[in-house]
Amino acid sequence: GENVEQHPSTLSVQEGDSAVIKCTYSDSASNYFPWYKQELGKGPQLIIDIRSNVGEKKDQRIAVTLNKTAKHFSLHITETQPEDSAVYFCAASLMDSSYKLIFGSGTRLLVRP
């Protein structure tokens, strides 16, 4: 069935270091891959996304890469700051006419000051 695996489940980095979170999807028909940040008591917030016709996308300190052949995609956060501490979710969307996101299990990122 449809599945998205996400690693690591927890990640602790020193402020200023980089953080990388990796996801693997199972359905080769997936064509849209968003990343969400969820802070305590809040709903997930879209931080960056990538479509299957693009290999890499960057927005300031955040970048996402996609390897369609390997069905892998990754989130890279550079120059981490304490406010980056949150739970991050990757997701994949099936290529059909309806909207259905399959989420990874989440990565709890802690940025130590």
Partner 1 sequence: KAGVTQTPRYLIKTRGQQVTLSCSPISGHRSVSWYQQTPGQGLQFLFEYFSETQRNKGNFPGRFSGRQFSNSRSEMNVSTLELGDSALYLCASSLGPGGNTEAFFGQGTRLTVV
Which residues contribute to the site for partner 1 (CB under 8 A)? 31-32, 34, 36, 41-46, 49, 51, 89, 91, 93-106
Q: Report, in Å, the least distance between residue 111 CB and partner 1.
A: 22
Rounded (10°) CA dihedral 11, 79, 37, 29: -90
Q: Report, in Å, the least distance between residue 45 CB and partner 1.
A: 7
**Which C-beta is closer to partner 1: that of 60 or that of 97?**
97
**Which C-beta is closer to partner 1: that of 15 or that of 29?**
29
Q: Report, in Å, the least distance between residue 97 CB and partner 1.
A: 6
Q: Report, in Å, the least distance between residue 15 CB and partner 1.
A: 28
**Which C-beta is closer to partner 1: that of 3 or that of 18?**
3
**Which C-beta is closer to partner 1: that of 27 or that of 65?**
27
Backbone angles phi, psi at 84, to 5 degrees: -80, -10
